[in-house]
Amino acid sequence: MALVSVGGHDTPSAISSFVSRYGLGHLTNLPDVDNELARTLGVSYHPRWLLIRADGTDERGGGAIPDSIVTDALTPG
């Protein structure tokens, strides 16, 4: 599983500042300055999370991702 942070709706420097301010440097961070990825994935506001499972199904929500979703995603089987 890979956890990726995507910053959008702002400039690359503002996205970088956000990553630094909130200690997200340990994640892979991708800028989506033109919001193309957000539109493709149906993300219309922040913060949002999107879990795409290996079988192609997905689950999404707003705010912090619930612990139960993370636990389920990390549980084999």
In SS3 terms, the chain reads as: CCCEEEEECCCHHHHHHHHHHCCCCCCEEEEECCCHHHHHHCCCCCCEEEEECCCCCEEEEECCCCHHHHHHHHCCC
pTM confidence score: 0.68
Domain 4-74 coded CATH 3.40.50.2300? no
Ordered per-residue pLDDT tens for the chain, 77 residues: 788 888 888 898 998 998 999 898 898 988 998 999 989 988 887 788 888 888 888 899 988 889 998 888 888 87
Residue ranges per domain, the chain?
A: 4-74
